[in-house]
Copies of this chain bind each other. A is one copy, B any other.
Amino acid sequence: MLKISKKADYALMALQHIASVQFGDITPGRVVNTKEIAEEYNIPLELLAKVLQILSKNGMIESHNGPKGGYLLARSARQITIAQILGSIEGPLGLTDCSHEKEGEFCMQREHCNIRTPLLKIQDSIYQLLNNMTLEDMMGGTPLITIQSSTAQGVER
């Protein structure tokens, strides 16, 4: 239950990769193209391209066209939250359909619905969780280049 889509999955991987290249110690500021990411993580190229398009459209990354082009983080990794990323791909968080009911839509159960309030509460808690975790926070998990002392704390394996 509560699975996230593959697209969202790919989006997270891609952003993590872009961030780690951009702010890494080896080639800081380098742009990353779609093909590089697709091959690194075995993601279907065209699908990943589409995902990156969406992220670009939603202001998560900047696109640079033409040869030697690619993508760049639009903001710092600290300012991009998981909620924003997932929201860009899958739309706003909503456990139920009635979470963000548009005008003219009706919920058949609404009249006597007995679970709306508590579900909205849960939803809000999840949102806070996702919105408090940033892309930067995700980079500690599986360090590509950062060297950690043997007494490092706060990171579980």
Segment from A25-33, A50-58, A66-74, A108-116 that makes contact with B = A108-116
Q: How many residues of A contact B (CB 8 A)?
A: 53
How far apart are A94's CB and chain B's nearest CB, in angstroms? 6
CA separation between A123 and B95, bound complex, in Å? 15
Which one of B16, B96, B137 lies within 8 Å of A114 (CB-CB)? B16
CA separation between A109 and B142, bound complex, in Å? 14
Per the 8 Å Cβ criterion, residues 130-157 of A in contact with B are 130, 133, 137-138, 140-142, 144, 156-157
Known: A1-B89, A2-B4. 12 other contacts (CB 8 A): A1-B87, A1-B90, A1-B91, A1-B93, A3-B97, A9-B96, A116-B141, A117-B141, A117-B157, A118-B137, A118-B141, A122-B130
A contact residues vs B (CB 8 Å cutoff): 1-5, 8-9, 12-13, 16-17, 20, 40-43, 82, 86-87, 89-97, 108-109, 111-119, 122, 125-126, 129-130, 133, 137-138, 140-142, 144, 156-157
